Copies of this chain bind each other. A is one copy, B any other.
Amino acid sequence: MEFKIAFIGFGVVGQGLAEILIEQKEALKELYNFNFKVVAISDVMKGSIYNQNGLDLQKLLDLVKTTGKIEDYPEGIKGWDSLQTITDTNSNLILEVAWTDLTTGEPALTHVKTALQNKKHVVMTNKGPIALAVRELLSLAKEKNVEMRYEGTVLSGTPALNLGLYNLAGAGITAARGIVNGTTNYILTEMEKGMDYDAALKQAQDLGYAEADPTADVEGYDALGKIVILANTVMGASLKKDEPSCEGITKITSEDIKKAKEDGYRWKLIAGAEIKNDGSVDAYVRPEKIPLDHPLANIMGPTNALTYSTKYLGDVTIVGPGAGRAPTGFALLTDILDINRLLSKS
């Protein structure tokens, strides 16, 4: 089959994927029999464009850099909003990469529902719809016999979610624990090197790791959203995002860090979920002192890591980037290629 792709949103993540698709088009065809064209892009700021025969991605990236207006593209239908782009184009794969709202999930939630209802595959990096309605959406996808994927919602393109969902299927996952927020890990790393909290936060902001308002990172809410997605997706939980206990790193002092190191430990912001004896799942975000010889203790800077505890394999840990233009763009690609692999058998 040929994937006919529509981008809903065309910010950093969408552009990150577009760059990979341009560079790898021939290799993806040769290695994975992956054939695609991009037929539509709809972005609330940059405008929209649709051509059922395919768009020139490089030309679109150039437009974004120069005029910032997708609608300056020479040919095609212009002016369609996101919903019309989902329903009225000949697309069969919707990439939901619009902005994230963790309270309502919108407009992404409606985008995803509409796409599934129209029997289109959906791949996204948007945490909103997944944190709020993953069960409902997976049921809808199953009913419509299409795929919905969201690897990029946790650890960007590092395949933490698909590792738990697919590779460790049958291993008997009992817990997942890890460092799932790069900003706070960067701050703790810099504090160990000698900076105080405020200076380390400032540096994280200067480097683009932390937002101007760093609350979501340093208070643990970003990590919380990710562990809820993991627990609900991989461990069969039905947690709501305000249920788990959540403590960030703002109370950790340079003195705490120094003292722990002397005792053979390192403070890390850990997000975890465990299946309890009664089958329910307990999740949390909290700073923990990790022994220096534990794999998670040596994850430094903005790197992320996740350890699955399993019945048959013991602990399996994956380490990789948790953010970034190319890694998050790749998150979309890994899901798309898995769908391609599944469909190539049918």
Contacts and interface: CB of A to CB of B under 8 A. Distances in A.
A166 B316 CA distance: 17
Interface residues of A, number: 51
B316 A317 contact: no
Contact of A345 (B32, B171, B172, B342): B342
A9 interface: no
Copy number in the complex reads 2
Contact of A20 (B24, B170, B338, B345): B170
A301 B159 CA distance: 25
A166 B327 contact: no
Contact of A167 (B163, B172, B316): B163
Contact of A298 (B31, B34, B295): B295
A297 B319 CA distance: 14
A300 interface: yes
A163 B166 contact: no
A300 B292 CA distance: 12
A237 interface: no
B170 A167 contact: no
A47 interface: no
A319 B321 contact: no
Contact of A24 (B170, B318, B342): B170
Contacts of A312: 20, 157, 326-327, 329-330, 333
B158 A316 contact: yes
A343 interface: yes
Contact of A158 (B20, B313, B337, B342): B313
Interface string A140-165: 00000000000000000111001100
A318 B316 contact: yes
A333 B159 CA distance: 20
A168 B316 contact: no
A299 interface: yes
Contacts of A320: 313-317
A293 interface: yes
Contacts of A158: 313, 316
Contacts of A172: 24
Contact of A333 (B27, B170, B299, B327): B170
A286 B67 CA distance: 53
Q: Sorted from nearest, which 9 A-B pairs have the closest CB atoms? A: A159-B167, A316-B320, A317-B319, A312-B330, A312-B326, A298-B298, A346-B346, A345-B346, A342-B345
